[in-house]
Structure 1
Amino acid sequence: MENTQSIRTAIIGAGPRGTSVLERLLAHAGHHAAHQEHGGAAMRLHVDVIDPYPAGPGHVWQPGQSRLFLMNTQSFYPTLIPEDPGLPAAVAGTTFDRWRERQQQDPLPALTADERAELAVLGSNDFPSRALYGRYLRSTLQDLLEKAPDGVTIDFHETSALSVHPVGDGTFDVGLATGETLRTGSVVLALGHIPSRLNPEQRELQASAAQLGLRYLPPAVPADVDWAQIPAGEPVLVRGMGLNFFDTMVQLTEGRGGKFTAGGPAGRLEYEPSGQEPFIIAASRRGTPYRAKAALAGYYASSVTLRYLTEAALDRFEAAGIRPGFDHDLWPLLHRDALWAYYSTLVRAQPGAVPDSTAFLAALEEALHPHAHSAANWEDAVDSVLAIHVGPRHRLDLQGLAAPLAGRTFASRPEQDAAVVEFLLDDARRSALGEDDPVKMAIGALHHGRAVLKTAVADGGITDESWVAGLRGWFESFVEGLASGPPALRSEQLAALARAGVVSFVGPDPKFGVDRKAGTFTAASPWVEGPPAAARTMVEALAPGNRVSANDSPLLQQLLKDGLVRSRHMMTAEGAPVQSTGLDVEPHPYRPVAANGSVTEGMYVLGLQLSSAQWGTAIAAEAHQPGTPAYRSGQRTLRDADEIAQAILRR
């Protein structure tokens, strides 16, 4: 009689991370079958995949969404398939860029005309639509299913999981919205973006809108929003000028028939309105949007090599038994790298900026060197070097990069609008210079450093207090505003819209409210004189909050209520516990910690709900690019998925 091992698991969430777990399960099942010893146990694996959205793309990456929504990374960047030679090879699939090339040479019959048109002009360095990435995910999943090893069966349930209950014999019952219950040996929580409750201010705005007949659009995935409900020709107040803002901007302009043309001076973009646009009034804390990405040949600036915040430096901390603090240990190293990247680029790209560049770089290198006896004074040493060699116009104000309007007041909103347009055009110009712009290379060092920081801080790698006060307290928003911006084209488009009178800006540090007498939302900046901006429609151009404690997911609420999972608490420097954003988990693989402190065995977590154990959980896996650093964090999510797959198959 055949000796057969039967395994059943459920993956809740069928977006990229859930699909990664499925892909790793298939890879390990195939590896097991290929290396099965004579007389060894055969393996039968059944996987239930649960998600109300079609598997592969999941919620965010649906192929049918507007093609105006672009990815925030270029074609060469993302992958669903790991490239780590230490992991079992995938049964099918490849990186997005190789898939793109294949479709250009031999397109799938199922591709739509729009997909073929986008692929025809899409290069490795271009930014694909989110819809096309969704097609890649769906296509890759189909390839995986066609190559699934013998003994593996998969059921897809296009519905929601509402509950997970331990049965008592090491198995779980998963309750579906259809009323069906699935009995399974393990459960993977790959929930992705989950519904979130509004904060008190947002609830008040929503309630005021209902009372006064206004339109309030809360935080949402842009593809879920009914943009047609925003009336043409009327003001719309948009809060947030990060990535969701650009989706809002393009949908309300180009998405309504307007056109961008290179008809201005020196090919500058101009906007031809269709007449169907609303008047967009944009507001954010900085008063400006995220800085645009530099034009680079790869994901990381090739002219920037980290000298101080390196993976070797992390190893030295570990070898010395030091659990680093962010502000005290890690940021000073990355700050040095940003300064060196800026000034070494300045000397190379603008030879006249520093008279004696050789002496300057030698003195700067000496000042930046982390001398143990003078670590507290290194910034003073750098300032002394700069005072001798570099004029004020060419010095770097790193913190000021993230707040370009700080310290300025404006006599009117049109004056402030002109300042924002000037910022946008200057930033786009710098982006076009790429590796030859000192500011963009300083940001490039921060971008490199972010990859190293992800490894440094994972799994309790830094102290709780420095996670709360440093990494999440100030650095995260600082670096996102500099290094997580849109393609430079979006900055040029926004400047064109402002010049065309389609977009205006509120100014820094805006205060929002409701004028009940006038029946409008309002927003005003203390730095801009004049009456508040007013509109009967307000859009929160923000993603739903990724906080476990504020979730509006029936499944996650049930797991919290039953004590199978709990939020992670961190201690501040004052010894006060603070509820962090993600689940409390025990590595490796990541399993949730229950309310009583025990580990919920047989349940695994992957993705956004790991935001208290990892940093940067929203970033997809990086494909390897020849000639660029292969940071450990680049394919961390795929290795996490592999660990989960191994654990499932060992149960």
Structure 2
Amino acid sequence: MHVVIIGAGPRGLITAERLLAQFKQATKYPQLKITIIDNTGLGGRVWQPNQSRNLIMNTVVQQFGFFTDKTVNGPLATTPGYSFYTWLKALAPTFIKRHPAIPFVTEYYELARNLQPNQFASRGLVGIYAHWFFENLQLNLPANTHLTFMNDTVIDLTGTEHFDLTLQNGGPLTADKVILALGHNDPQLTTEQKALMHHAEQLNTIYLPSIHPGEAPLATLPAKEPVLLRGLGLIFFDYLARLTIDRGGKFVSAPNQRLKYLPSGKEPHIIAGSRSGLPLHARGLNQKDDYMRYQAIFLTPENVARLADHDHHISYQAFYHLVTQDMQYVFYLRLAHQAKIDTPKLKQALATSTDLAATAKTFGLDAELDLAHYLKPFAPTTTNASYQAQMLTYLSADLDQALLGNYAGAHAAAFDILRDIRDNIRDVYENWFDGAAKKQFLTEFAKINNLLSVGPPYHRIQQLIALMEAGIVELAPRDIQVIPKSDGFMVNTSIATINYQVKHVVEARIGSTNLAHTTNQLGLNLLERGTLSLDRYQITAQPPFSSGAVTFQPHTYQSLTRTGAKLANLYTFGIPSEGYTWFTTYIPRPNINDRGFRDVTELAYHVLN
């Protein structure tokens, strides 16, 4: 049995370990060969050690790892091993010393020795963990198994029961089963982006399309000149680091848990904006051990089933109400703790309440958790100077809330439970929503979730404030539009009196999860032939809706063709299915029976049985 895994990121590597564990436990095949293929190396594109050490994770080091643990339920025994943090403390320094060819080896050695549980690791260090993980698998292979890695690109595969793979550099390869564990891909340029690139070429200025921030050729951006970063998500903070710290600038401590930026003089002048106009909220100071996870009180299977109609569907509004109730529950308990209010009585009253805000008021808690407010947190002004002052006030308040912590702080705790109840949310999305509810979820809830719960470490907001105060960064109002002009680009915003003139434009945004809109040749070939299919939902009185996600058979992960047929030996797992399932862009968390570990265990079971 030859299984090929396309993609050597965390998902592909964990899949390899689960396959080896499944083979060792029970399988009908006498031998197993696993080949992992990725053109960026072990760890995949995001985690390569040769990138800037200032590109960091947005998860604390104690809350992820590649090994399953005893809390994970499924049809396969777990394989206890080192989480990322326990590896850092026990094995990483020795492993790094034994591999002096690792890029920036001295820096990574010091990072590994000094990182604390609630700090954030350089992404390159996670890549070294991936190399160790693969080496550890090879050193502990069960009998009659073989594991190899190929640094290459799969550009096509053909077949149904067995597959012929076409590689960009190597010779032909055959496989009995193939698992597509693809990550983010570079997007195709839109008509607007092609026009912006052409305009930049004509003016001999710079337009950089979406690309992984560790690979972007930012050295070409001149110092002092105005550049637009389009996007205010996690990638935006990566670009900030590369254009400031990586160019010799330094952050130093300032009063009131703030920072001051000391410019190097090599920074461009950065204008940053997006459709929302808002950077993601700072992730609260972590006060939770890896096993601490909020258990939903309102978004429970029982409540979802109770609210479902005769077709076993729940409306988006009913789902959203349950989620906000869980957030309010945590919010008011944290406020009560701060005010020294009798928490047991309040807990009981809130848990049985249909109006948590009203119930909280009877206990003297007058604050409200208004999620709509976070999407438009302040009234717009009319001048750029006053808008920058507004944004600094907004960011400072966000930072203060984050520094209270994700357990003690009311806002940070309420936001953080969106991470804790992801499994509950996924269950509703996959099993209880019709097409209309999925569409509303992806257009409305996804914005709120991204803004509140997937943000950067709080020190990135400290840095952004310092950069704004130093005059290096300006944040543009919402709904920016980029207009080519004779001497560069005009950036218009939702406030007619606020616009900016820039010379260069950088798309500080992540690539699409929709394979049809990417440059991934394998995905495009499989979609064109109908070997893979994108999801499609009929919605009453509306055009059909598609999230752009690759479809698969639930629980077995077998890919579905354009006609809906199930391919027995081709599996889709992870990011290309984002939208068919939900929130695939994460590394599993130990000690909480993580859904990611359960999914990959289920996949391995079906591949080898």
Structure 2 length-normalised TM:
0.92
Tell me the residue number matched to 1:131: 124
| Closer, same or farther: CA 265–58 of 1 in aligned 2, 3 Å | closer
Distance in structure 2 (CA, Å) of the matches to 1:557 and 1:303:
39
Q: 2:95, 2:132 within 8 Å by CA — same for their partners in 1?
A: no
1:204 to 163, 183, 195: 195
Give the superposition deviation at 1:506. 1.3
Give the superposition deviation at 1:224. 1.3
Give the superposition deviation at 1:383. 6.4
Residue aligned with 1:124, SS? coil
Task: Give the partner amino acid of 2:450.
Answer: E
**Alignment of structure 1 residues 69-148 onto 2, 5 Å:** 69-83=55-69, 84=72, 86=74, 88-89=76-77, 93-103=81-91, 106=94, 108-110=96-98, 112-148=105-141
Structure 1 portions without partners, runs of 5+: 1-6, 34-40, 370-377, 625-629
Q: 2:527, 2:533 within 8 Å by CA — same for their partners in 1?
A: yes
| Closer, same or farther: CA 90–248 of 1 in aligned 2, 3 Å | same
1:641 aligns with 2:608: no
Q: 1:63, 1:135 within 8 Å by CA — same for their partners in 2?
A: yes
Residue aligned with 1:567, SS? coil
Distance in structure 1 (CA, Å) of the matches to 2:178 and 2:343:
60
**Alignment of structure 1 residues 221-300 onto 2, 5 Å:** 221-262=212-253, 264-266=254-256, 268-298=258-288
Distance in structure 2 (CA, Å) of the matches to 1:637 and 1:528:
46
Tell me the residue number matched to 1:627: none
Aligned residues: 601
Distance in structure 2 (CA, Å) of the matches to 1:436 and 1:638:
29
1:431 aligns with 2:402: yes
Distance in structure 2 (CA, Å) of the matches to 1:108 and 1:223:
21
Q: 1:91, 1:148 within 8 Å by CA — same for their partners in 2?
A: no
1:522 aligns with 2:522: no
Q: 2:208, 2:507 within 8 Å by CA — same for their partners in 1?
A: yes
Give the superposition deviation at 1:215. 0.8
Distance in structure 2 (CA, Å) of the matches to 1:426 and 1:156:
48
Distance in structure 2 (CA, Å) of the matches to 1:92 and 1:294:
29
Give the superposition deviation at 1:282. 0.9
Tell me the residue number matched to 2:579: 612
Q: 1:584, 1:612 within 8 Å by CA — same for their partners in 2?
A: no
Tell me the residue number matched to 2:462: 492
Post-superposition CA distance 1:164-191 (Å, at most 9, x none) = 111x6x2111111126211221111111
Tell me the residue number matched to 1:402: 375
The sequence identity of aligned pairs, in percent, is 27
Distance in structure 2 (CA, Å) of the matches to 1:131 and 1:105:
14
**Alignment of structure 1 residues 523-602 onto 2, 5 Å:** 523-527=491-495, 529-530=497-498, 532-602=499-569
Tell me the residue number matched to 1:3: none
Q: 2:307, 2:314 within 8 Å by CA — same for their partners in 1?
A: no
Distance in structure 2 (CA, Å) of the matches to 1:245 and 1:87:
41
Distance in structure 2 (CA, Å) of the matches to 1:159 and 1:577:
37
Q: Quick check: 198-207 or 585-594, which moved more?
A: 198-207
Post-superposition CA distance 1:78-108 (Å, at most 9, x none) = 1211122645456784211211121367554
| Closer, same or farther: CA 299–313 of 1 in aligned 2, 3 Å | farther
Residue aligned with 1:293, SS? coil
2:339 to 345, 350, 369: 350
Residue aligned with 2:391, SS? helix
Task: Give the partner amino acid of 1:492.
Answer: Q
Q: 1:413, 1:505 within 8 Å by CA — same for their partners in 2?
A: no
Distance in structure 1 (CA, Å) of the matches to 2:365 and 2:424:
32
Q: 1:323, 1:463 within 8 Å by CA — same for their partners in 2?
A: no
Q: 2:55, 2:122 within 8 Å by CA — same for their partners in 1?
A: yes
Post-superposition CA distance 1:277-312 (Å, at most 9, x none) = 111111123322101011122278969653211245
Tell me the residue number matched to 2:329: 340
| Closer, same or farther: CA 19–322 of 1 in aligned 2, 3 Å | same
1:441 to 413, 421, 431: 413
Give the superposition deviation at 1:616. 0.3
Residue aligned with 2:120, SS? coil
Distance in structure 1 (CA, Å) of the matches to 2:291 and 2:600:
29
Q: Quick check: 276-285 or 409-418, which moved more?
A: 409-418
Post-superposition CA distance 1:449-468 (Å, at most 9, x none) = 3342022223x431111001
| Closer, same or farther: CA 363–203 of 1 in aligned 2, 3 Å | same
Give the superposition deviation at 1:26. 1.3
Structure 1 length-normalised TM:
0.86
| Closer, same or farther: CA 217–107 of 1 in aligned 2, 3 Å | same
Give the superposition deviation at 1:642. 2.7
2:483 to 509, 513, 517: 513
1:163 to 150, 153, 156: 156
Structure 2 portions without partners, runs of 5+: 100-104
Task: Give the partner amino acid of 1:493.
Answer: Q
Tell me the residue number matched to 2:320: 331
| Closer, same or farther: CA 300–149 of 1 in aligned 2, 3 Å | closer
Give the superposition deviation at 1:329. 2.5
Tell me the residue number matched to 1:372: none
Distance in structure 2 (CA, Å) of the matches to 1:566 and 1:49:
24
| Closer, same or farther: CA 474–550 of 1 in aligned 2, 3 Å | same
Residue aligned with 2:509, SS? coil
1:309 to 290, 299, 308: 299
| Closer, same or farther: CA 11–305 of 1 in aligned 2, 3 Å | closer
| Closer, same or farther: CA 113–574 of 1 in aligned 2, 3 Å | same
Residue aligned with 1:191, SS? coil
Distance in structure 1 (CA, Å) of the matches to 2:400 and 2:141:
49
Post-superposition CA distance 1:349-403 (Å, at most 9, x none) = 135xx9x99998877666x33xxxxxxxx5xxx66667777687x3332211233
Give the superposition deviation at 1:529. 2.6
Give the superposition deviation at 1:231. 0.8
Q: 1:92, 1:140 within 8 Å by CA — same for their partners in 2?
A: no
Give the superposition deviation at 1:267. 5.0
1:45 aligns with 2:42: no
Distance in structure 2 (CA, Å) of the matches to 1:50 and 1:107:
23
Task: Give the partner amino acid of 2:16.
Answer: L
| Closer, same or farther: CA 427–315 of 1 in aligned 2, 3 Å | same
Task: Give the partner amino acid of 2:508.
Answer: A
Tell me the residue number matched to 1:189: 180
Residue aligned with 2:3, SS? strand
Residue aligned with 1:196, SS? coil
Tell me the residue number matched to 2:102: none
1:8 aligns with 2:2: yes
Distance in structure 2 (CA, Å) of the matches to 1:73 and 1:357:
30
Task: Give the partner amino acid of 2:403.
Answer: A
| Closer, same or farther: CA 13–365 of 1 in aligned 2, 3 Å | closer
Distance in structure 1 (CA, Å) of the matches to 2:150 and 2:94:
32
Give the superposition deviation at 1:120. 2.0
Distance in structure 1 (CA, Å) of the matches to 2:258 and 2:94:
37
Task: Give the partner amino acid of 1:59.
Answer: R
Residue aligned with 2:60, SS? coil
Distance in structure 2 (CA, Å) of the matches to 1:529 and 1:357:
49
Tell me the residue number matched to 2:51: 65
| Closer, same or farther: CA 312–79 of 1 in aligned 2, 3 Å | farther
